[in-house]
Amino acid sequence: MRKTGKSLRLRRLSLAGDDRYLFVPLDHSVSDGPLVPAGQWDDLLRALVAGGADGIIVHKGRARALAPEILKSCALVVHLSASTACAADVDAKVLVGDVEEALRLGADAVSVHVNIGSDTEGQQLADLGAVARSCDDWGMPLIAMIYPRGPRIDNPRDPALLAHLVNVAADLGADMVKTSVALPLERMAEVVAHSPIPVLAAGGSPDGSDLIEYGRAVMASGCQGLAVGRRIFSAPSPASLVAGLAAVVHSRGGDGTAPGDTGQATRPDGTTNDDMSMTHYSTIGAGVA
C-alpha cells in the first residue's frame, strides 16, 4: 500500500506523465524575505500554474493558506528545511516540518535541503535519512536539494563532486535530487550518468543570461527536469517564462523541441531563439547555480 501511494504521488509530479519535471521553488521567503507583496501571492501562483509548472515548492505555512482551486493542475511539494540570511552560519539547515504535517496539507511530495561541505553537514545528513525513513513509512516522494556549499568546498562546479552528491541523495533514500550544474555545462552529462535517480538542475540567481537556452542545454545533458525559483518569480512575466520552460522540459529527445513545435522556444518578450549547443551555452552560463 505504501509503495502504491508513493507511485501515485510520483505520477502526479509530472503533468505530462513523461517523468520530466518543472518545479518552481518558492521557499525563498524564509531564507531571503518576501517574494512579492502579500496581495500578489495568489496571482503569482496562478501565473505559474497557467504557464504549466508541474509543481510548486513552499513551506508548510504557505501550503496551509493555499486556495485549493489554484493547484488543481499543479503538484504541491512542502519544503521541510530552513535557514535565514541572518544566521551565523547561512549553510546550516534545520528541519522545521515533518512528513505527517505535509500529508495533512495534501502534499504530493516533500523536499529537504542538505549542504555538503558545511560545518553542520553531519546533522543535515542525519535529517535527510530520518525524513527518508518517514517518507517510506507514509508513501511520500522525497526530493533532496543537495549542494556543495561550505568551507570545505574548493570547486562547487566539479562534475566528480556533483556526481558524489547525487549519489549521497540516492543512497540516503531520496526519489529525485536537485543540485547545481557542472561547468562546463556539457560535463553535467557525467553527473547524470552516475545518478540512479532523476536529476533536477537548479536555476540559480538571475544573472541576465537566457533561461530558455539554459533549460535546453540542461535537458540535453540528460537531466530530467528543472527546479527554478528566483529567475522565474522575479521575471516580468512568470507565466510566459514558465510556458517556455515547460515546452523545453516536456520535449522529445531532450533537445528542447516540444512535440509539434519548430524547435524554438518563446521568451517572455515574445521573441524566439534557435537551439543552442551545450558547448556554446557553457560560455555564458557560468553564473547559474
End-to-end Cα spacing for the chain: 38
Residue 54 near residue 21 (C-beta atoms within 8 A): yes
Q: Which residue has the cell 531532450?
A: 254
**Beta carbons within 8 Å of 114's beta carbon, 6+ residues apart:** 81, 93, 121, 124, 125, 127, 128, 144, 145, 146, 147, 168, 169
Question: Which letter does DSSP use for residue 93 in this model?
Answer: -
**Beta carbons within 8 Å of 134's beta carbon, 6+ residues apart:** 98, 99, 100, 140
Active-site residue set: 27, 147, 178
Q: How many helices (H) and strands (E) does the chain have?
A: 12, 12
Nearest alpha carbon to residue 147 among 87, 191, 185, 193: 191
Distance in angstroms (rounded) separating the CA atoms of residues 107 and 116 = 27
